[in-house]
Amino acid sequence: MNSIQSLSKQFGNIAAVSGISFEVKKGEVFGLLGENGAGKTTTLRMLATMLKPTSGTATMAGWDIVKEPQKVRSSIGILFGGETGLYDRLTCEENIAYFGELNDMSRTQIKERIRELAKVFNMEDYLTRRAGKLSKGMKQKVAFARAIVHDPKMMSLLQDLMSVQ
Ligand SMILES: Nc1ncnc2c1ncn2[C@@H]1O[C@H](COP(=O)(O)OP(=O)(O)OP(=O)(O)O)[C@@H](O)[C@H]1O
Ligand SMILES: [Mg+2]
């Protein structure tokens, strides 16, 4: 279960997030909606341990985001909207493997996992092509595969979509 408790983030005199609390149970799909500037991205960045909360905390997959950020990172898959952030000059498999290495996976584990993901996402044909030359959809699949290369326990994917009004 993910539990968010009175999470707040202050940027100077801007209160980006003011004491937000909610729970997301295992297997649940949870969406965060709000107008532009409401604090959605800031909330997700705190849950992904990319930003430290000003106050409050949260447990993600059972780990505290403030006290155990490394444990949180190894338990969640993060996929932000917009740019995929792939390294253009690396091949698809190199992009995915790099994140496997950052998650302390062995070469054998990485190889096996890429084979598995390539099959699921139907991307076997372009694994060895450079990411920069791929179509948008192909890039999105590689980015998705990269986000779950370490097989996150709770498969907590944080997909931050830009809202358009
Ligand atoms: N790094 C930062 N430094 C200063 N202020 C920030 C920073 N990041 C966000 N903010 C401010 O915090 C508030 C919340 O921003 P945030 O990006 O979380 O909103 P959002 O809900 O994701 O909006 P959108 O729907 O437009 O993506 C805004 O007022 C924004 O200007
Ligand atoms: Mg946003």
Q: For the domain that residue 74 is a member of, what is the CATH number?
A: 3.40.50.300
Residue 163 CB–ligand 1 contact under 6 Å? yes
pLDDT at 152: 86
Total domains in the chain come to 2
* Same structural domain, 47 and 74: yes
Shared domain check, 76 and 8: yes
pLDDT score recorded for residue 77: 87
Domain enclosing residue 16, as ranges: 2-82+154-160
Residues 6+ apart with CB under 8 A from 117: 96, 123, 145, 148, 149
Ligand 2 centroid vs 153 CA: distance in angstroms?
25
* pLDDT at residue 159, as a whole number: 61
In a domain, 165, yes or no: no
Helix (H, G, I), strand (E, B) or coil at 154: coil
Domain check: are 97 and 74 in the same one?
A: no
Ramachandran area for residue 12 (φ above 0: left; ψ -120 to 50: alpha; else beta):
left
Regarding whether 39 and 6 lie in a shared domain, the answer is: yes
Does residue 98 sit in the same domain as residue 119? yes
Is the CB–ligand 1 distance for residue 14 below 6 Å?
Answer: yes
pLDDT at residue number 61: 86
Residue 130 belongs to a domain: yes
**pLDDT at 165 (0 to 100):** 43
Are 64 and 124 members of one domain? no
Angle, helices 92-102/136-147, rounded to nearest 10 degrees: 20
Q: What residue ranges of the chain have pLDDT lower than 70?
A: 154-165
Mutating to test ligand 1, I would choose from 9, 32, 41 the residue with most ligand atoms within 8 A of its C-beta, which is: 41
